[in-house]
Amino acid sequence: MRVKNPLRSIANFVFRQAPLSAQLIVTRRCNLSCGYCTEYDRVSEMIPLAALKERIDALHRLRVINIALLGGEPLMHPDVAEIVAYIDRKAQASITTNGFLITEPLIRKLNAAGLRNMQVSIDTVKPDPSLFIQKSLKTVRPKLDLLKRIAEFDVFINLVLCEQSKGEFKQTLREFSDLGFAVSLDLVHDSKGHLAIGGPEYLELWEHYYKNTRPFMYLEQDYGTRLLRGERPAWQCRAGTRFLYVDEFGKAQFCSAQRGRLDKPIVEYTREDAREYSKTHRGCESGCAMLCHYRDSAFDNQPLRTIQSVLKLLGRPAVGRGASGHAEAARRPPGAVATPEAE
């Protein structure tokens, strides 16, 4: 993961208590209809650029470190490169995409706009006949080749472990490893964010991921293990403080699974709001499998373990960036672990 202005990011995160990450919905429309996803439709209009700029201005005022563009499919937005450039003025921009719409001209536009990180969601090697999973390596492989050749931003793969992906899981990880991409792993959850799988079979696959690949992060390793064992570890979610979700209506939410609880226009959201929400539990932490939010909250819950986890990551040998193939060691501030955004 590439971090823009790492020293300033550390200062804002540690000393100014700035939000680590915000997910900004730029459209609900998607070109796919994956069975485990509740974040898309086929009819929504694109959110106007002017409205998105107002929301980005509000996130800049809050000193958000990373703003991730989500959908639906964010690459469907005709102004996606301009949105990235507007974010890049005062924060760093990331995109989560299914990869189907990646083209050489678009990559070059995103290079010029200052995109820092792209997460490509791929769950299996071969297409799923049931169409529950529609993001396969076989389909997107040419797009990954384009990214490796042209992109100047970092690229990594996100994989969701679920009933439909478990059969090919180990083969999928081997394929990604052979391609040289770092991989983040999510556990499938229900519409409220709670773990939707469990048991020895999934636990073995979770452990296989950490033993046989170069994980994107280690922070959630123990937490995921305990979830899959049927435990419900106690922790305090820092949504509303360290993490914000801005829906298509421009309202700040705790997360995609808890919409309607916070429901305050982001243009009216203040640092005082963020500080207030830092004092309370969300009440939905038990069994939560939205690992990106667990990572965003980790430093405030367990600062020493978070630092140890980041040092473990930084101590690994440098690898070629998925985007360009140029060897570069990962550089992250202690809390900069939120880039994996796929839910």
pTM score, whole prediction: 0.85
Closest CA to 159 of 83, 242, 215, 235: 215
Residue 191 lies in a domain: yes
Residue 1 lies in a domain: no
* Alpha-carbon dihedral angle through residues 192, 172, 157, 72, given to the nearest 10 degrees: -50
| CATH, residue 287 | 3.20.20.70
On average, the pLDDT of the chain sits at: 85
Give the range of the structural domain holding residue 185, as residue numbers without chain letter.
6-328
pLDDT for 284 equals 94
Instruction: Give pLDDT tens digits for 49-100.
Output: 999 999 999 999 999 999 999 988 999 999 999 999 999 999 999 999 989 9
Q: Measured on CA atoms in the order 53, 59, 60, 61, is the torsion positive or negative?
A: positive
Residue 62 lies in a domain: yes
Region of 250 (left: φ > 0; alpha: ψ -120 to 50; beta: rest) is left
Q: State how far the Cα of 262 lies from the Cα of 242, in Å rounded to an integer.
A: 14
* pLDDT > 80? residue 5: no
Between 73 and 17, residue with greater pLDDT = 73
- Span 289-326, pLDDT tens digits: 999 999 999 988 888 888 888 777 766 654 444 444 43
Q: Identify whether 338 is part of a domain.
A: no
Residue 108 in domain: yes
Q: What is the pLDDT of residue 315?
A: 64
**pLDDT of 21-55, one tens digit each?**
999 999 988 876 565 666 657 678 899 999 999 99
State pLDDT tens for residues 241-292: 999 999 999 999 999 999 999 999 999 999 999 988 888 899 999 999 999 9
Domains in the chain: how many in total?
1
What pLDDT does residue 36 have?
Answer: 60
Q: pLDDT, tens digit, for every residue of 186-213?
A: 999 998 999 999 999 999 999 999 998 8
Chain centroid, CA 153 distance in Å = 15
Identify whether 333 is part of a domain: no
In a domain, 299, yes or no: yes
Is 39 contained in some domain?
yes
